[in-house]
Amino acid sequence: MRPLNLVVLSTALLAAALFAGLAGCGSEADGLVVEPASIDFGSVRHGEVRHATIRLTNRGSTDVSFQARPSCECLGLGGGYRTLLGPGEHVDLQLRFDSGHTDGGLMEKSVEILTTEGGGRKVSVKVTADIVRVVDVVGTQIRLEQLPVEGSSEPARSAEFRPTQGYTLAVERIVPLEADAAFLTFTAKEPGPDGAILVEVARKADAQRRIGPFKAGAQVHFLLTAPDGRIAKFQETIQVLGTWIHAPSR
């Protein structure tokens, strides 16, 4: 009989422990539920504004109040939302992400949700993005055949591009490399967000002129070297006798 008593006692303890575990899972599933758990804006052009929605739902049986706190000035929440939710109620927080308030590159921030349930609980919604800095060149034209060739007797001339983000790039010369290639050097006459930059462009193309190896719509790669050593790659669309249109290289 003693072994039987031990078996019965062990079974009772196991059942009690299992019940307590299930009760704990149920209470954790109740309360304030935050969706989604994370927000990824993907590749975002510097200065661009994106929006997202965070939904808070009270799945508990009592009222829950909360506070929402973005972790940086690049994140903002639209005002006027309720901070007290009754059972079964929900509220949508309108999140505004302004990439102009970031330094560029990979970004990882968060929105902290602080609740009154259980003596105080914090839920963190991770917000990520890849901020791409581009040099916009708009409203200008370049005639490649009018630029001077290094080593020639032509007078020094330059074609200026005035981008929208503070850069002034000037084509100073064309260096012929071979019959189907040329090397263009650009300098920044005015400092941009990262200071003075040097832009070097090289591309092979079956063009008609040695000094104009870029066909209309040809794709070229810029290599921008900042004074602090950071390197960013960009891809531009060159249209001969047309405008330069940005297209970030990914």
Query: CB-based contacts of 187: which residues, under 8 Å, 6+ apart?
Result: 169, 170, 172, 196, 198, 199
| Burial group, residue 224, by CB count within 10 angstroms (0-12, 13-18, 19+) | buried
If asked whether residues 122 and 179 sit together in one domain, one would say: no
Range of the domain at 93: 31-132
Task: Write the CATH number for 71.
Answer: 2.60.40.10
Residue 90 DSSP SS3: strand
pLDDT digits 0-9 by tens, 9-60: 333 333 333 333 333 333 345 789 999 999 999 888 778 899 999 999 999 9
If asked whether residues 87 and 54 sit together in one domain, one would say: yes
If asked whether residues 71 and 38 sit together in one domain, one would say: yes
Q: For residues 133 and 87, what is the distance between their CA atoms, to the nearest angstrom? A: 45
Q: What angle do CA 242, 248, 250 make, to 5 degrees?
A: 145
If asked whether residues 161 and 119 sit together in one domain, one would say: no
The pLDDT of residue 130 is 85
8 phi and psi angles, rounded to 5 deg: -65, -45
With 0.75 as the threshold, say if the pTM is over it: no
Is there a domain that residue 215 lies in?
Answer: yes
If asked whether residues 159 and 197 sit together in one domain, one would say: yes
pLDDT in tens, the chain (250 residues): 333 333 333 333 333 333 333 333 333 457 899 999 999 998 887 788 999 999 999 999 999 999 999 999 999 998 888 999 999 999 999 999 999 888 777 899 999 999 988 778 899 999 999 887 654 433 333 444 444 444 545 444 444 444 444 333 444 344 443 333 334 444 444 444 433 333 333 333 322 222 233 333 343 433 333 344 443 433 333 322 222 223 333 3
What are the start-end ranges of the H helices in the chain? 2-29
Is there a domain that residue 194 lies in?
Answer: yes
Question: Residue 110 CA to chain centroid, in angstroms?
Answer: 14
Kindly state the tokens that stand for 179: 């019959």
Is there a domain that residue 21 lies in?
Answer: no
If asked whether residues 116 and 203 sit together in one domain, one would say: no
- Pick the last residue of a domain from 132, 160, 177: 132
Is there a domain that residue 137 lies in?
Answer: no
Is there a domain that residue 39 lies in?
Answer: yes
The pLDDT of residue 43 is 82
Strands 38-45 and 49-58 come out as: unpaired
If asked whether residues 49 and 103 sit together in one domain, one would say: yes
If asked whether residues 80 and 161 sit together in one domain, one would say: no
Is there a domain that residue 89 lies in?
Answer: yes
If asked whether residues 119 and 156 sit together in one domain, one would say: no
Q: For residues 212 and 145, what is the distance between their CA atoms, to the nearest angstrom? A: 6
- Pick the last residue of a domain from 112, 132, 152: 132
Is there a domain that residue 75 lies in?
Answer: yes
Q: For residues 102 and 13, what is the distance between their CA atoms, to the nearest angstrom? A: 56
- Pick the last residue of a domain from 132, 156, 176: 132
